[in-house]
């Protein structure tokens, strides 16, 4: 097989005319030249800067915002440590409503749970003998009045005869004494009728104090003797009876603040209708009992708004148990995303980063009404910025 080589002639090549590029094509060629690493005619390609050996190349970052005046510095501060204990709603006094006179209950106007006021009629005691005695007293009073009228008539007649000398002075004195005796007898009968009326009025059993009826152990028709109990009334002044482990007894003293747990607070409509409207569950310890029973210390606390609770109801109460270091930050400095809480920190270089934190109980402080405790994620000296 023969291979024949082609050899061009020695004549120089004739340049072909290149048509002029239009304006819309020029930018396209410029972009293709930049992508290919070449420069169009008349422009030189600038060499890229090569970093020195060992230096790390980082992408360009946006400049950090300047430090603001409203930055918050996290500070460790000692705050009272609170422990949750159970307390029972108790009445300071339980007053029995007793019968003052014997008889049969003819009316009962209260039942368990009713609110009563001091002096309110809660039951009526009836006795048929008192009605009979009242009739006898009325008859005796009528007889006494007749005797008084007769005595006064005899005295007037004797005085008229004495002026003419027909009646001796001795007889006149006897008639005057008889008139005085009859008048005093009438007064005695009237006093006896007043005593009988008071006995009948005492048949009304009155509430000895304002409060709530705890129990009514009788029914209409029950025969009562003087001194028996018709109803047991708890005074409105309720307290919380706390039962605290003895290891916390050294930290309890009168005047220490206590607060009801948020889940045990009454709803707003119920609290608004109670005797202590607007109660927030805040209170203070009023008495610490010096005796320890079964390893627990008893204490009484006064909290506004307990009148709407039931006597004997158990509630959860937070009491002080010493001090511990805590971190408290404003709640406005925290954000929540996908169920996690974040705090925005300012680093030493001025950069702002978001770190996850664990939120604790609300801790309102003077000058920090929306304070919240941080359990983890922050440390003393961290600077928080407004998110």
Could you tell me which of 343, 333, 335, 320 has the C-alpha nearest to residue 370? 333
CATH code: domain 72-79+326-384 is 2.40.420.20
Per-residue pLDDT of 14-31, as tens digits, reads 444 444 444 454 555 555
Residue 151: both structure tokens together: 């005595």
May I ask the CATH class of domain 95-123+203-236?
Answer: mainly beta
One-character DSSP codes across 278-330? T--SEEEEEEEEEEEETTEEEEEEEETTGGGSPTT-EEEEEEEEEEEEEEEEE
CATH code 1.10.287 region(s) in the chain: 128-197
- Which 8-state DSSP code applies to residue 157? H
Query: Which residues does residue 82 pair with via DSSP β-bridges, in sequence order?
Result: 320
CATH code 2.40.420.20 region(s) in the chain: 72-79+326-384
Cβ neighbourhood burial of 87 (10 Å; 0-12, 13-18, 19+): buried
CATH code: domain 128-197 is 1.10.287
**Weakly modelled stretches of the chain, pLDDT under 70:** 1-69, 262-280, 305, 307-308
CA gap 73, 385 in Å, rounded: 9
Residue 219: both structure tokens together: 């029914």
May I ask the CATH class of domain 83-93+237-322?
Answer: mainly beta
- Radius of gyration over every alpha carbon of the chain, rounded to an integer in angstroms: 51
CA gap 314, 87 in Å, rounded: 6
- Residue 336 CB neighbours (<10 A): 9
CATH code 2.40.30.170 region(s) in the chain: 83-93+237-322
User: For all residues of the chain together, what is the average pLDDT?
Assistant: 78
Per-residue pLDDT of 21-74, as tens digits, reads 444 545 555 555 455 444 444 444 444 444 444 444 333 343 445 555 678 899
pTM for this predicted structure? 0.49
CATH code 2.40.50.100 region(s) in the chain: 95-123+203-236
CA gap 370, 374 in Å, rounded: 13
């Amino acid at each position: 097989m023969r291979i024949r080589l082609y050899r061009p002639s020695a004549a120089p090549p004739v340049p072909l005319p290149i048509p002029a590029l239009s304006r819309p094509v020029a930018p396209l060629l410029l972009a293709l030249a930049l992508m290919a690493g070449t420069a169009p005619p008349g422009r030189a390609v600038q060499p890229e800067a090569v970093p020195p050996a060992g230096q790390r190349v980082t992408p360009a970052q946006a400049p950090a915002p300047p430090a603001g005046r409203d930055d918050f510095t996290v500070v460790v501060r000692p705050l009272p440590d609170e422990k949750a204990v159970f307390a029972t709603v108790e009445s300071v006094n339980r007053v029995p409503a007793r019968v003052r006179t014997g008889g049969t209950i003819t009316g009962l106007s209260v039942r368990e749970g009713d609110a009563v006021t001091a002096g309110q009629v809660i039951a009526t005691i009836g006795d048929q003998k008192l009605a009979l005695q009242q009739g006898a007293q009325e008859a005796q009073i009528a007889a006494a009045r007749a005797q008084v009228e007769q005595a006064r008539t005899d005295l007037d007649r004797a005085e008229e005869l004495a002026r003419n000398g027909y009646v001796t002075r001795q007889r006149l004195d006897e008639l005057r004494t008889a008139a005085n005796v009859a008048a005093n007898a009438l007064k005695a009968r009237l006093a006896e009728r007043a005593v009988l009326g008071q006995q009948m009025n005492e048949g009304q059993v009155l509430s000895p104090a304002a409060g709530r009826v705890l129990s009514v152990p009788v029914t209409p028709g029950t025969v009562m003797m003087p001194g028996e109990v018709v109803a047991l009334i708890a005074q409105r002044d309720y307290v919380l009876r706390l039962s605290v482990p003895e290891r916390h007894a050294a930290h309890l003293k009168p005047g220490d603040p206590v607060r009801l747990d948020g889940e045990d607070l009454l709803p707003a409509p119920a609290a608004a209708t109670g005797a202590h409207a607007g109660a927030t569950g805040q209170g203070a310890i009023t008495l610490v009992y010096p005796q320890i029973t079964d390893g627990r210390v008893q204490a009484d606390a006064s909290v506004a708004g307990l009148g709407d609770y039931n006597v004997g109801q158990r509630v959860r109460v937070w009491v002080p148990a010493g001090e511990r270091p805590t971190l408290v930050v404003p709640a406005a400095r925290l954000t929540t995303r996908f169920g996690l809480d974040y705090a925005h920190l300012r680093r030493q270089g001025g950069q702002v980063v978001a770190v996850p934190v664990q939120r604790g109980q609300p801790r309102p402080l003077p000058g920090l009404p929306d304070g919240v405790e941080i359990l983890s994620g922050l440390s003393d000296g961290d600077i928080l910025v407004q998110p």
